[in-house]
Amino acid sequence: MLAAFFRTPRKAASAAREYLPAALLLILLIAGWEAWVRAFDTKPYILPAPSRVWSAFLDVRSQIPGHARTTLVEALLGLTIGAGIGVTLAALLSAMPLLRRVLYPLLVISQTIPMVVLAPLLIAWFGFGMTPKIVVVALIAFFPIAVSTADALTGADREMVGLVRSMGAGRLQVLRYVLFPAALPAFFAGLKIAAAYAVAGAVIGEWVGASSGLGLFITRSQRAFRVDQIFVAVAFVAFASVALFAAVHVLSRLALPWMYAHEEESES
């Protein structure tokens, strides 16, 4: 109990050492931005000052929650579907070398197509509802998850696989007890990358056509030449992306406690 009491301050101090430099840099950048705009009298339709962005937020604070809720739902659903597709595809690619040789180059080529180009097609196919935005996020999310998980499954310990098979385990049991646990760190690494881009993917889908969402809010602000409101939406997109990334990080710590045990022992 006494050890737990002293562990919490140490964790707080460690977190402060890790994140305080980034927070200080962000504060300095915002202060420099404000000073630049005031010193050179930059027009607000070119680059509004942070103080003006804050005033714009106060003006539209009643509109933002509804748009942000729509975008977050699209991002979460798309990320979940993309993760499911990515894991399934990774299992197939690792189990079938011929399929890997056939599909892997096509997967890489598919990522060279900008989502801004695909979004109008998805709108034409699925309409103006949430479906095309979810598809955009899923298409963005599945690739890093599929690639990282497939590489981890392929590079799993062959001796351990042979040992489990010698004990009578079938293919599904090998996947469940050996391959998937070994691939979990790579899966969460890919999921973190996908989470960082999920909200932005939903916004891209909303640019083309939507009835709600931060992408629609940005489009309307752009048409009204309200650059300050665009910065408000961009700040919410950044905050939501960081929050989603942090949520995946916490989930990975809960799912992989053995990975962080050595780190905690070192800190103690």
Per-residue pLDDT of 59-102, as tens digits, reads 999 999 999 999 999 999 999 999 999 999 998 888 888 888 88
201 belongs to a structural domain: yes
Q: H or E element: which one contains 209?
A: none
- pLDDT tens figures, 162-175: 777 777 777 777 77
* Of 15-19, 46-50, 112-116, 251-255, the least confident: 15-19
1 inside domain = no
Is 33 part of any domain? no
The answer as to whether 20 is a domain residue is no
Q: Global pTM?
A: 0.85
Is the dihedral angle over the CA atoms 123, 126, 131, 137 positive or is it negative? negative
pLDDT class for 27, splitting at 50, 70, 90?
Answer: very high
For the chain, state the CA radius of gyration. 23
Q: How confident is the model at residue 3 (pLDDT cuts 50, 70, 90)?
A: very low
| Residue 156: how many other CB atoms lie within 10 Å | 18
In a domain, 105, yes or no: yes
Look at residue 5 and tell me if it is in a domain: no
Q: How far apart, in Å, are the Cα atoms of 177 and each of 45, 94, 164, 181?
A: 58, 16, 9, 7
CB atoms within 10 A of CB 15: 10
- Alpha-carbon distance 163 to 232, whole Å? 56
Please give the tally of structural domains in the chain. Answer: 1
List b or e across 223-237, with b for residues whose CB sees 16 or more CB atoms inside 10 angstroms: eeebbbbbbbbeebb
Residue 20's pLDDT band, with cuts at 50, 70 and 90, is confident
What long-range pairs does 106-110 form, CB within 8 A, spacing at least 24? 107/143, 107/146, 107/147, 110/139, 110/143
Work out the end-to-end distance of the chain between its first and last CA atoms, rounded to an integer number of angstroms. 14
Q: Is residue 13 part of a domain?
A: no
At CA 253, angle to CA 249 and CA 256, rounded to 5? Answer: 125
Give pLDDT, residue 7: 54
Answer yes or no: is 16 within a domain: no
Q: Domain range spanning residue 145?
A: 48-267
Look up the CATH number of the domain holding residue 73.
1.10.3720.10
Cβ-proximal residues to 149 (8 Å cutoff; 6+ apart), any chain: 86, 87, 90, 91, 183, 186, 187, 190
| Residue carrying the six token digits 């599945």 | 142
Packed helices 227-255 and 257-267: angle between N→C axes, nearest 10 degrees: 90
